Amino acid sequence: MCEQWHVSLRDIRAVYDPEMHIAMLQDSSRHHFYAKCLLKHQEDLKDKVAVDVGAGIGIMSAMALVHGKLGQVHAVEVLPEVARIIPKVLESILDAEDRGKVRVHCGFVEKLCSVPGWPGDAVALVVSEWLGILALNEGMAQPLLRCRDALCHGPARPQMLPGWLRLWVQPGQASVQRGAGGDVTCGPRVITSEQLQGSPTLLLDLDLNTCSVSDLFESQGIDVESAGGATGLVGWFDLHCCKDHPDVVLSTSPSAPKTHWLQCWMPFDKALEGSTKLHVQVQLKPQNLAGLPELCVVLSDLSGEDHHAQFFLDRGVVEYGKVRAEARESEPKRRRLETEDIEAIYFPSDVQELLRLAQQAVKEGAGPELA
Ligand SMILES: C[S@@+](CC[C@H](N)C(=O)[O-])C[C@H]1O[C@@H](n2cnc3c(N)ncnc32)[C@H](O)[C@@H]1O
């Protein structure tokens, strides 16, 4: 992806700052889910080798050793200032023997895995927490799948954890929110189940062990029927351990416990007056000013009304009206920012807080029902 989209460390830093890492580590539903996934696969994975894609401060690597009993973990993190925290986290959680089982690689995973033979071991597990707004934003899906494919040797394929992703949409009612310039915004927001209308429709159903990048972003889309009164679409995702353990699930739906992802709100230009048929599709779009591609949900009105819209979920921007083919063709080319990449500063207090949260996450493990 870094070659294809010209992603720089600066682009990644714009998403993953110290506050973002703290928010992720405060999300106990996330850690319970990953611990349960690892426990379910412990028997097959014991003493084998894992790659942790986008390791951050190393929480999933530590969990892979504690809950999955892996024999070795290659922790891959692109930001040097974040990768440098990994040994401190491991020291605060693992004994010396387990610490010796983690090897930290600092770099773009898609570059590392393109080196023939990397990482030098047969990999049995790819564990990764790579999910952004409506799962697919943040541009990590392609590097993840590229890494998976590079680690497949004949019939030997690494197990992906999590292994199954489902995206849902449902009409709903919520107030309009506007940005500083007065424009309507879209993106993460708390939506309750009382605000939903009708029933959910499956937007994407992806077995991460077998799907391709085009399955993610070039899907045909789906039709959604909405009754009058709806003011927008609500999107969310459910992550399942794998097809063999579908009941181990992390849901970000309005009826599930709150996670740091919240739900995704995509407002119509005006409330629907009567029953309306909409077409919804996810696309990956290049951004003009930064290298990371942006998830865009494209809404077309099939009922002859004019509820067409594009929701750019990274920037929270909504564009109403039909997408014109000529507009698509004349979209300005990406312009790479040539400014210097400057490391983000993790103050000692940030690092202390991250260490405390990481210890707590691993200690809580799969949660009360499996502890
Ligand atoms: C969603 S965060 C998850 C961090 C950590 N695994 C956790 O669960 O707390 C994703 C991490 O992946 C890193 N990352 C993003 N793109 C990457 C890439 N192409 N190669 C390697 N690391 C990447 C980011 O810097 C970030 O730390």
> pLDDT category, 341, cuts 50, 70, 90?
confident
Q: Using a 6 Å cutoff on CB, does residue 141 contact ligand 1?
A: no
Same fold, 2-161+341-364 and 164-329: no
Which overall architecture, per CATH, does domain 164-329 show? Distorted Sandwich (2.70)
Distance 307 CA to ligand 1 centre (A): 36
pLDDT in the model for residue 288: 61
pLDDT at 281 over 80: yes
With a pLDDT cut of 70, the percent of the chain lying above it is 92
Query: What residue spans define the domains of the chain?
Result: 2-161+341-364, 164-329
Kindly state the average pLDDT of the residues 261-288: 90
Q: Using a 6 Å cutoff on CB, does residue 79 contact ligand 1?
A: yes
- Closest approach atom of ligand 1 to CA 79: 25
What are the angstrom distances between the C-alpha of 139 and each of 26, 148, 221, 266, 290? 23, 15, 20, 20, 12
> pLDDT category, 175, cuts 50, 70, 90?
very high
Say if domain 2-161+341-364 classifies as CATH 3.40.50.150: yes
Could you tell which of 4, 12, 129 is best to mutate to test the pocket of ligand 1, judged by most ligand atoms within 8 Å of the CB? 12
Q: How far apart are CA 353 and CA 30, in angstroms?
A: 18
* Highest mean pLDDT out of 52-66, 270-284, 301-315: 52-66
Distance 322 CA to ligand 1 centre (A): 35
pLDDT at 370 over 90: no
84 with 107: CB under 8 angstroms?
Answer: no
With a pLDDT cut of 90, the percent of the chain lying above it is 73
> pLDDT category, 156, cuts 50, 70, 90?
confident
pLDDT at 227 over 60: yes
Closest CA to ligand 1's atom 14: 54
Burial class (CB in 10 A: 0-12, 13-18, 19+), 169: buried
Kindly state the average pLDDT of the residues 91-114: 96
> pLDDT category, 302, cuts 50, 70, 90?
confident
Closest CA to ligand 1's atom 5: 56
| Backbone phi and psi for residue 263, each to the nearest 5 degrees, phi listed first | -110, 175
35: its two tokens: 């611990």
Radius of gyration for the alpha carbons in the chain, expressed in angstroms and rounded: 21
The mean pLDDT of the chain is 90
pLDDT at 230 over 50: yes
Q: Is the pTM of this model over 0.75?
A: yes
Q: How far apart are CA 52 and CA 56, in angstroms?
A: 9
> pLDDT category, 121, cuts 50, 70, 90?
confident
CB atoms within 10 A of CB 354: 25
